[in-house]
Amino acid sequence: MENIKTHFRTCNLCEAMCGLEIKYSETNIISIKGDKKDMFSRGHICPKAVALQDLYHDKDRLKTPVKRTTNGWKNISWEEAFDEVVNRLLSIQKKYGNDAVGSYQGNPNVHNSGMMLFGTPFIKSLNSKQKYSATSVDQLPHHISSLKMFGHHMLIPIPDIDHTSFMLIIGGNPVVSNGSLMTAPDFANRLKAIQKRGGEFVVVDPRFTETAKIANQHLFIKPGKDALFLLALIHVIFEEKLTKKAHLESHINNWKVIKNLSTNFSPEKIAETIGIPTDEIKKLARKFALAKTAVCYGRLGVSTHEFGGVCLWLVNVLNIITDNFDKKGGAMFTLPAIDLVGMATVTGKTGNFDRYKSRVRNLPEYSGELPVATLADEICTEGKGQIKAMVTIAGNPVLSTPNGKHLAIALEQLEFMVAIDIYINETTQYADIILPSTTGLETSHYDLAFHQLAVRNTSKYSEILFDKNQDQKHDWEIFKELTNRMGGKDNPATPEIMIDYMLQKGPYKDKGLSVKKLKENPHGIDLGELKSCLPERLFTKDKKIELAPVEFVQDLNRLKNQLAEWKNNSNGAYNFSLIGRRHLRSNNSWMHNVTRLIKGKERCTLLINPEDAKILNIINQQNVTVSSKVGSLKIPIEISSEMMEGVVSIPHGWGHNYNGSSMRIAKKNAGVSINDLTDPNKIDFLTGNANFSGTKVKIERVK
Ligand SMILES: Nc1nc2c(c(=O)[nH]1)N[C@H]1C(S)=C(S)[C@@H](COP(=O)(O)OP(=O)(O)OC[C@H]3O[C@@H](n4cnc5c(=O)[nH]c(N)nc54)[C@H](O)[C@@H]3O)O[C@H]1N2
Ligand SMILES: Nc1nc2c(c(=O)[nH]1)N[C@H]1C(S)=C(S)[C@@H](COP(=O)(O)OP(=O)(O)OC[C@H]3O[C@@H](n4cnc5c(=O)[nH]c(N)nc54)[C@H](O)[C@@H]3O)O[C@H]1N2
Ligand code: SF4
Ligand SMILES: [Mo]
């Protein structure tokens, strides 16, 4: 082939920020490989990045606005689309008030710099309290624990994986997910490097996961019980006088409170409830506290959890009381080139919690948004402030939020809905108008969110590879137009201008960072390892870590009550705990339209332990009915000793059986949606986060 060129960029599909080397000729991709010269990802890549070419060429992907009519979807001009969207939104707000327009921002919002920079002003222009996002089906407990302990919701401690000698992973499967709230490309090799240095890592998970398989030790835990486990570890560490204050001594409030709290949660008291023997808990506590350096990392499985807030608080507490915080090899804060956290020194915006409650269920606000577990209630319940119109932006809440089926029914009742999305799918099918943006290789990108969460400070800019066609618009162009028409504040800049400005004003301005300089360094620029930064980096008023925030301490009463209930073990027929799982070739709900990623044996199955299958008298691949208090579905089983007894697993993001879908490949491999079973009423009441860790279900053979 003639005229082969090479393009370097960062993959923006997940949080790992892998550097890519793309060989292409005109608009044909010849190869997508890991960029070995990328100073952060060192050549690592996963199968999803190769699929960027399929997304680019996908004939099912929308390129121009479409409108739903009685005769199906019809292409319309951008002018007509903008006119209708803004007229409808404004007239609904005029009739019912601003809160009648709700919004939901999905996961790709934080993976696209255009969306991050221009989507926020658009949402602001709606001036509505009915604001939702995927945050509350994901990482809300991380934000609220950071806000209360360190004074800023985005000041999230990151495990210093490259220097630690002991890592405890609870509720994360980074070998498959490639890491989350911890950007660490090539995660598996970074874990193996701990072992090569003579260290260890331990996984605590109800499934013997891909990460557990390469760990030094794996412990099964019953879903939803991690708060007890963490309290027992802390108990042992205090009891055996293994705490270390060392360099943090003068930067901590309420050390004693923690000591007193943990006295109620001895390993003996909780071992049976959580399914981990007393002596294993004690051994682990000692190992953690005595390791040269150690870090506990808690992620999705303990965040989308009935006690998610308490769990993420206690993960921080564990790191702090063992002197593994703000210290090499422990949990540390980052200092990225565009420092969204540091900007609060000028703007004062450190995040908010519980300034007001949701209308129907009285759930707490977080930084201007409400828990998505109550979105359907807010659409269906009449009264002042009821949602009459929705804007969804790069999100698929019908598949990704608890009782998605109910949400689908709610969306159908809306007077108007607009989706900014690249597919007609399970959620966007309810839109009156869909506005598609460019995506992937058609966009420029700077990782505003994930440099903030990375295990090393680096900086990299990705340029557009393939120009969009005449009819297409970038996400930021769509938001800019919508914001202006809604009467919001015009921003004359482009994302590139804004990024350039922020780089030049940022913490590394002395290094002359700018977009120009990054373009000259297509493999990125290394800014060094994470550094200690306390107390300066804290945003608490007294510049101290709040070890025992009142809200979290109070929530232990809820845990105590729940513990009593768990001991009674009264779930009746609902005697299995359901959890999720991810697959290397999936990305939440929307990449199942790529043949390359979907091929192979059926993946949307119910994993079940052999003993449980025997009792139920079911064999491999047999269909079963799984029911919870909110719904039921049919699914083939896959017998696997990976599962803890009494626990079953279904991956999320499936259930693509919508007839009019533009996702033709996904539709052929539809699967079922786990979120037809998850319960929006069983949330973490402290933070408002959805709970996917251990939905109670019953399983019956299909006759
Ligand atoms: N039971 C259960 N539920 C879960 C989870 C779980 O583990 N178990 N995980 C939760 C988590 S962590 C998350 S983050 C959420 C995700 O939940 P969502 O964010 O609601 O869902 P996604 O599947 O990420 O949907 C992304 C949408 O963005 C569109 N899209 C992709 N790229 C672009 C783009 O460049 N531009 C535009 N405009 N649109 C784009 C896709 O077509 C798709 O509709 O799901 C949550 N739900
Ligand atoms: N391939 C792939 N990668 C992805 C995604 C994807 O869909 N596919 N999604 C991306 C997104 S949006 C996110 S947020 C991240 C999430 O990344 P991770 O946090 O690594 O999430 P999961 O892989 O879902 O791992 C959660 C683990 O928690 C376990 N678990 C469930 N309940 C409990 C519990 O009660 N206690 C304990 N201790 N463990 C429990 C599950 O068995 C599972 O192993 O992944 C990202 N990366
Ligand atoms: S691990 Fe994530 S960032 Fe890396 S190539 Fe795969 S999807 Fe892209
Ligand atoms: Mo997520």
The rounded Å distance from CA 536 to ligand 4 centre is 30
Residue at 61 is within a domain: no
CATH code, domain carrying 100? 3.40.50.740
Pocket of ligand 2 (CB under 6 A): 14, 107, 138, 170-174, 176-178, 180, 204-207, 209, 221, 223-224, 226, 299-302, 305, 579-584, 586-588, 693-694
H helical segments located in 586-685: 595-598, 610-616, 664-668
Q: Which domain does 38 fall in, by range?
A: 5-50
Both tokens assigned to 566: 């768990």
Residue at 412 is within a domain: yes
**pLDDT tens per residue, range 489-506:** 999 999 999 999 999 999
Quick one: 383 exposed, middle or buried, by C-beta within 10 A (0-12, 13-18, 19+)? exposed
d(CA 536, CA 529) in angstroms, rounded, equals: 18
Residue at 27 is within a domain: yes
Domains contained in the chain, number: 4
| 216 lies in the same domain as 360 | no
Any idea which ligand is nearest the CA of 299? 2
d(CA 10, CA 47) in angstroms, rounded, equals: 14
Q: Which of 566-570, 607-611, 683-687, 699-703 has the lowest mean pLDDT?
A: 566-570
3-state secondary structure 92-161: HHHHHCHHHEEEEECHHHHHCHHHHHHHHHHHHHHCCCCEEEHHHHCCHHHHHHHHHHHCCCCCCCEECC
Nearest CA to ligand 2 atom 34: 223
Q: Dihedral (C-alpha) 413, 414, 420, 425: value to the nearest 10 degrees?
A: 0
| 207 lies in the same domain as 314 | yes
CB 700, CB 625: distance < 8 Å: yes
Neighbour tally for 395: CB within 10 Å: 29
| 667 lies in the same domain as 628 | yes
CATH code, domain carrying 37? 3.30.200.210
- The rounded Cα 349 to chain-centroid distance in angstroms is 22
Both tokens assigned to 59: 């004939």
CB 374, CB 360: distance < 8 Å: yes
**pLDDT tens per residue, range 470-529:** 999 999 999 999 999 999 999 999 999 999 999 999 999 999 999 999 999 999 999 999
Any idea which ligand is nearest the CA of 46? 3
| 165 lies in the same domain as 303 | yes
Please report the atom of ligand 2 found closest to the CA of residue 174.
20
**pLDDT tens per residue, range 638-654:** 999 999 999 999 999 99
The rounded Å distance from CA 45 to ligand 3 centre is 6
The rounded Å distance from CA 398 to ligand 1 centre is 10
Q: Helices (H), strands (E): how many in the chain?
A: 25, 28
Beta strands in 501-603 (DSSP E): 525-529, 545-546, 576-579
- pLDDT at position 1 is 61
Residue at 57 is within a domain: no
| 169 lies in the same domain as 70 | no
pLDDT beyond 70 at 369: yes
| 123 lies in the same domain as 144 | no
- pLDDT at position 245 is 83
d(CA 699, CA 696) in angstroms, rounded, equals: 10
Instruction: Taking each helix axis as running N to C, give the angle between helix 550-568 and helix 226-239, from 0 to 180 degrees, rounded to the nearest 10.
Output: 110
| 148 lies in the same domain as 105 | no
| 171 lies in the same domain as 159 | yes
C-alpha angle 279-280-286 in degrees, rounded to nearest 5: 90
CATH code, domain carrying 682? 2.40.40.20
pLDDT beyond 90 at 137: yes
Residue at 16 is within a domain: yes
| 302 lies in the same domain as 349 | no
d(CA 310, CA 302) in angstroms, rounded, equals: 9
**pLDDT tens per residue, range 410-439:** 999 999 999 999 999 999 999 999 999 999
Please report the atom of ligand 2 found closest to the CA of residue 170.
38
Q: Which of 159-168, 241-250, 403-412 has the lowest mean pLDDT?
A: 241-250
Task: Please name the residues in contact with 692: beta carbons below 8 A apart, sequence gap of 6 or more.
Answer: 137, 304, 305, 402, 579, 580, 652, 674, 678
Greatest CA span in the chain, whole angstroms?
72
- pLDDT at position 10 is 98
**pLDDT tens per residue, range 187-220:** 999 999 999 999 999 999 999 999 999 999 999 9
Q: What is the mean pLDDT of the chain?
A: 97
The rounded Å distance from CA 13 to ligand 3 centre is 6
Residue at 495 is within a domain: yes
Residue at 671 is within a domain: yes
Residue at 586 is within a domain: yes
| 496 lies in the same domain as 625 | no
- The dihedral through the CA atoms of 452, 453, 458, 463 has a sign that is negative
**pLDDT tens per residue, range 621-634:** 999 999 999 999 99
| 510 lies in the same domain as 423 | yes
The rounded Å distance from CA 529 to ligand 2 centre is 26
The position carrying tokens 């399983």 is: 699
Nearest CA to ligand 1 atom 17: 400
Q: What is the CA radius of gyration of the chain?
A: 24
H helical segments located in 221-354: 226-239, 255-262, 267-274, 278-290, 300-303, 308-321, 344-347
| 364 lies in the same domain as 502 | yes
Nearest CA to ligand 2 atom 3: 177
- Reported as type and span, the H/E element at residue 31 is strand 28-34
d(CA 58, CA 402) in angstroms, rounded, equals: 29
Beta strand pairing call for 295-298 and 695-701: unpaired
Query: φ, ψ for residue 267 (rounded to 5)?
Result: -55, -40
The rounded Å distance from CA 136 to ligand 4 centre is 10
CATH code, domain carrying 263? 3.40.228.10
d(CA 138, CA 184) in angstroms, rounded, equals: 19
**pLDDT tens per residue, range 69-97:** 999 999 999 999 999 999 999 999 999 99
pLDDT beyond 70 at 296: yes
Distances (CA, A) of 158 to 9, 154, 179, 180: 24, 11, 11, 10
